[in-house]
Structure 1
Amino acid sequence: MLNDDTRKRLENIVKGTILEGAKDHCTAVRNLLCSSFRTSTTVKKDFEGQSRIKTEQAEFLRHHSSLSKWWINDLPDESSFLTRGGEAKIYLAPDHRNVIKVNDAVYYATWLEFFNSLVIHNLLFVDTAYTFLGFKEKDGSLLAVLKQPFITSDAPVDLEDVKKLLAFNGFVNTKRNDYFNRELGLILEDMHDENIIVNSNTLFFIDTVFYTVSE
């Protein structure tokens, strides 16, 4: 079950409140966006209409990346390319213990939604937490470069086990591989067997899509 501190932080993310005391870079970028933009709680409503805000946020991040030295000069070499997910190209890191994900945030209406999702993931799934490395500009698009532990699979995923674990933490299966936590106001989508890995009888969530909602 979620401890009180984690629950409070999740509640603050949904409310659009600055998270005090966190020193990781994912939270730093999220807090920076929160200081100037409102957190959306109308997921998938007016997605196209949010494109103007996403563009504004991209320019905001470009400006602050120059001030904070968040720019990355080079992307990983193509020889280390592993696969491409729905929104990210994934590379094996030089240490072979992590992967590098180059993400265009295409699943999210705004960059704030994207960084909210990263911070939520890091709170709930510490073993596969993301580290924000910086931004990269490519073909006129802003890309977030992230590091995540590299987990290998030693058994197939049983989606019933996934459902039980998420239910234990208040997430109700709404349809197929999508979940909703009414108490926290969180939607978790696309929890199929390619986004979860089993190793040593433990489930590792490696690719999550969270949205904050209010009713």
Structure 2
Amino acid sequence: MKNELQNIISGKSSVVYGALIQTVARELERSCNASKLDKENEHFKKQETEILVELIDKEQLWISDLNLDNYVSKGAEQRVYLKDGKTVQKLNDSIYYASWQDYFHNLLLNNFFFADTAYRLDGFYKDADVVFAVVSQSFIKATEPTKLENLLTENGVLRFIDTVFYLDKTFWN
């Protein structure tokens, strides 16, 4: 399974809604390596964000028509907006992650393990100089109480939302 996950993260294998996520993650990795950015440097994420913005500009991935009137809630990690009756859009600035690459890897891992609540990367949004990834996810209506975080029960089925995966350095060995 580790090899399969490595192939998904590196873009050698596919996962539901993974194409754009893999493209952005690979381009960030390539650009950060070419720029010789050090992940241990305290300014890494700021520099990585600058590279991400260049990519967003180049590929025209900015979302300008986001409907902020459909606000649903805000967690520690992201803002949630109702897109339609079946989908929510989430804005995430990767605050829980050491890098944007880690955030995109998290999305890919979520999509592998929990395809029923897979994230689709719609593009990016900027608010007060903060860059947000805009992702869509199925709207899960909790029909029963669930006592665990980031887990909802819909018609007797557990649905994982807002999962957080972290890969340590040994994952690539």
Q: Same fold judged by TM-score > 0.5?
A: yes
1:77 maps to 2:32: no
Partner in structure 1 of residue 167 of structure 2: 212
Which residue of structure 1 aligns with residue 81 of structure 2?
A: 91
Partner of 1:11: 6
1:56 to 39, 47, 65: 47
- Count of paired positions: 162
Matches within 5 A, 1:187-206: 193-206=148-161
- What is the SS of the residue equivalent to 2:4? helix
Task: Identify the match of residue 133 of structure 1 among 100, 107, 122.
Answer: 122
Aligned CA distance change for structure 1 residues 55 and 98 (closer, same or farther; 3 Å): same
Query: Contact 1:24 / 1:131 at 8 angstroms: preserved in 2?
Result: no
1:101, 1:146 within 8 Å by CA — same for their partners in 2? yes
The answer to whether the 8 A contact 1:18-1:34 is kept is no
In structure 2, what is the equivalent of residue 104 of structure 1?
93
Work out which of the residue numbers 115, 120, 133 in structure 1 matches 2:109.
120
Identity over aligned pairs, percent: 32
| 8 Å Cα contact 2:7/2:13 also seen in 1 | no
Instruction: Show structure 2 runs of 5+ residues with no match.
Output: 34-38
Instruction: Read off the aligned partner of 2:92 and give its amino acid letter.
Output: N
Q: Which runs of 5+ in 1 are unaligned?
A: 39-46, 159-192
Mark the CA change 1:81 to 1:51 in structure 2 (over 3 Å): closer, same or farther.
farther
Q: TM-score, normalised by structure 1?
A: 0.68
User: Distance in 1 between the 2:13 and 2:44 partners?
Assistant: 27
Residue deviations 1:141-180, cap 9 Å, x none?
Answer: 111111000011111225xxxxxxxxxxxxxxxxxxxxxx
The answer (yes or no) to whether the contact 2:119–2:136 under 8 Å persists in 1 is yes
Instruction: Please tell me the root mean square deviation across aligned C-alpha atoms, in Å.
Output: 2.1
Q: Distance in 2 between matches of 1:50 and 1:134?
A: 27
2:156 aligned partner, one-letter code: N
State the distance in 2 between where 1:9 and 1:33 align: 21
Could you tell me which amino acid in structure 2 is paired with residue 62 of structure 1?
Answer: V
Alignment of structure 1 residues 151-170 onto 2, 5 Å? 151-157=140-146
- Structure 1 position 29 matched with structure 2 position 42: no
SS of alignment partner, residue 127 of structure 1: helix
Give, as a single letter, the amino acid of the residue that structure 2 aligns with 1:201.
G
The residue type paired with residue 205 of structure 1 is: F
2:46 counterpart SS class = helix
Q: Could you tell me how far 1:71 is from its partner in structure 2?
A: 0.8
- Provide runs of 4+ in structure 1 moved above 4 Å: none
Query: Match for 1:20 among 3, 12, 16?
Result: 12
